Structures are given as structure tokens and as C-alpha cells.
Amino acid sequence: MDKKINSRTVNNANNKMFVVMAMYFTLLALFLIMSMTNFFVRDEDTDTVCRMTVIICEGEDEYYTRFKKGVEKAAEDERIDVNFSSIYKDSGLEQLKSLIIKESDLGADIIMVPGIDCAELLNLSNTSGKKIPVVMPDSVYDEGGGYVGVNYRSAIDSLVERIKESQDTSVPVYIIPGKNYIKKLCDILKEDLERAGFNVVFKQDEADENFYSSFFDTECSRWYQPPAVIALSRSGFTEMAYMASMKETENLRLYGIGTTTYILNKMEQDYVLGIVTWNEYDEGYVAVNNSYKAIFSKDKKGLKIEDKTIPSYFIDKDILKSGKYTKMLYPIN
């Protein structure tokens, strides 16, 4: 009886072994077949991780050439789908808000608005009630907008110092903010100039096509010494540089914020005396990286982008010719 049980147990074990071995060789055969296919080939992860919309005022694209290059490079590195959108140049804040909400509704994860510093935009929500991350790269550091900011302080100090060297305090300093300007920057400038003893006069160019021409005719020629004029917006700065070159006047000392090739050319021709500028390529790159990092809590290894501020520089003709900032001002494609 015992012998029968034992032999039955052994037979069962043999049967199990046979089944297991059969399964094993089936598995090997399966692997052999699969090795001839691409079943287990891991595809490179090329999907975009988020969508970003950059809103630039219509007609101001040329002012943001460098910035856009930085944005595009960062988007390429981070696999971000960037879409550049424009808004009519005479649109107000409400239209801008509507556009931001619309872009968010269309699926944009981040909205970037260069050249704007408006705290109201930080509290926008889309139609589904989700808070919209709005990035304002040109905003002054620590003044809302977040993710990146330009530290204007040192460049503004240099600008005021230069004006002080070349102009009596009895002659006013004109500030032309332009349509879109950074209010905080304007406040810093005004404060510094007034501390230096200058009388600061604001001249707004809104809704007056002949503003720049009449400004030259009426304001610049009335002083015994050419007054300093500081244009805060890129469009205003370009307009002022153009008027200065057209009128061939020596009745003003033109300074401004922001750079274009045209303005640099006018600086070479001595129509522009000084520019406050910064590495806009870097600004675009860092703005995208920091906003992506802040919103998705991910870090791009190998790059030093923990610094949220972008330094600014004061550049005059001598500095321009020295070539120190050539790669920044004329970035290689």
C-alpha cells in the first residue's frame, strides 16, 4: 500500500515537472519570437510636457527677437510646446485678460506676457475656475509676476550717474513711459533722479500720433542745455531714436530701456547716448525654465537657473565698441 502511494507521489511530481519544463520551453520560444520583433523596444520620450503661450503686442515682435530665441531654446530643451500669440497694440488690460483666459481655456499651461508688470494678471482664473499661471518676465524682481525678474538697480544707478555728469539739475529730465511700461521701474528711476536733484517730467504718448515730433519741437529746444530724455518702452524708445536721427537735433540726450538692432545702430550714430539692457536671450530661457520648474516642480539638471534675477547693464557707445557685450546684444543664431 505504502509503495503504491509512494510511486503515485513520484508520478505526480514527474507530471508537474513535465508541465513546468513544457512551460519553460514555451516561454523560451516566446522570447525567441519576441526578440525578432520590436515589442520591447523603448521609444524615446519625445512628447511635450506642457504648453506655453507667449503674448506679445502686435508690431512689437522685433523688440523681442532675442527674448523669443531664448524662449524657443528653452522650449526645445524642456520639450515645451510654445505658441506665440499677439494682441492688438491699442488693446487695454481687459482685452489682455480675456486673451489670457482664452489661451488657458484652449489648454495653455503657462501664459507669459513680456513687457507687462500688472499684479492683476496674477489672480486670473480660466472658465473652469483653475488659477492661471501668468509669468511677466520684465517685471521688477519681487514685485509679482514671479519666476524671473530683471534687476534694474545697478544699470539705473549708472544711467542716473551719467545724466548727472552731463546735465545741470536745473534742466528737467523727461521720462516718456510709453504705452506698456514697467511702473516699478518708472518709480525707481524717478526716485533716483529726484534724489540726484533733477526735476522729473513725465510725458505720456498716448493717442497722439505727432507726440514725438511735437515733443522735439516744444520741449527739447526750450532749455539752455539739452535735456535728458529717457524712453521706458521699446516702441517709444525706437520712435524717439528715429525722430532724433530725422531731425538731426542736438537738443536732447536720449536714453532708453531695452535694445533693438535699430537702437544700437542709432547709438553708433550718436543719436542714442545710453541704453539700459540685459541678456534678453537668457531672460527668455530662464523665464521658461523657471516657470516650468515652479509650476511642475521639476528641475533641469546641469543648468544654473536657480537665480531668478537677470542682471541689467548700462551701455554707451564706447562700451558697445569694446565688444564686451557683442554676443549679448547681437546673439548668434
Partner 1 sequence: MTDGMNAGNDKENNIKKKKENSNSLNKGISTGKKKYNIISKNFLYRQGIRLVLLLYSLLVTNASVGATIFFVSKRMAEASQKEVNEGNMNVLNQAGSLFDIYLRDVMKLSNTIYYNVFKNSNENVDIHNMLNLLYDSYRGKIENIAIFSLDGNLMYAAPAARMKTGYDVKDQEWFTNTFKDTENNHFSLPHLQQIFESGDYRYKWVVSMSRIIELTRDGKSEQAVLLIDMKYDELVGNLSDISFGSKGYVYMIDNKGEVIWHPKMGLLYSGRLFEYNAEAAQCSDGVNKYKDKSGRILYVKTIGYTGWRIAGVGYSVESIFNSPYTGPFISVIIFAEFFAITLIYTFMFDKISDPISRLQEAVQTIEEGNFNQKVPVGGVYEIESLGKAVENMRIRINQLIEDKRIENQKRVEAEEMRVQAEFDVLQAQINPHFLYNTLSIVIWLIEAGKTEDAKKVVTAVGNFFRIFLSTDRKFIPVSEEIDYVKNYILIQQMRFKDKFVYEFDIDENVNQMSTLKLILQPIVENSIYHGMEYMDDEDGRILIKAYIKDDKVYFSVKDNGAGMTKERIAEIMSADMTRVSKPRGSGIGFKNVRNRILKQYGSEGGVEVISEPDEGTEIIIYFPAEIYTKKDVEA
Where along the sequence are the contacts to partner 1 (CB under 8 A)? Answer: 2-3, 5-7, 9-10, 13-14, 16-17, 20-21, 23-24, 27, 31, 34-35, 39-44, 69-70, 73, 260-262, 265, 268, 279, 281-282, 285-286, 302-305, 323, 326-328, 330-333
Residues 219 and 240 sit within 8 Å (Cβ to Cβ) = no
Strands 274-278 and 309-315: what pairing? antiparallel
Give every CB contact of residue 301 below 8 A, 6+ residues apart in sequence: none
Closest distance between partner 1 and the C-beta of residue 295, in Å? 20
Helices 234-247 and 261-268, axial angle in degrees (round to 10) = 40
When the beta carbons of 44 and 206 are compared against partner 1, the nearer one is 44
When the beta carbons of 93 and 303 are compared against partner 1, the nearer one is 303
When the beta carbons of 64 and 281 are compared against partner 1, the nearer one is 281
Exposed, middle or buried, 247 (CB in 10 Å: 0-12/13-18/19+)? middle
When the beta carbons of 147 and 281 are compared against partner 1, the nearer one is 281
Q: What are phi and psi of 204, to 5 degrees?
A: -95, 140
Residues 68 and 284 sit within 8 Å (Cβ to Cβ) = yes
Closest distance between partner 1 and the C-beta of residue 147, in Å? 15
Closest distance between partner 1 and the C-beta of residue 31, in Å? 5
Closest distance between partner 1 and the C-beta of residue 163, in Å? 24
Closest distance between partner 1 and the C-beta of residue 160, in Å? 26
Residues 148 and 169 sit within 8 Å (Cβ to Cβ) = no
**What is the rounded distance in angstroms from the CA atom of residue 280 to the CA atom of residue 302?**
21
Closest distance between partner 1 and the C-beta of residue 265, in Å? 5
When the beta carbons of 24 and 202 are compared against partner 1, the nearer one is 24
When the beta carbons of 42 and 195 are compared against partner 1, the nearer one is 42
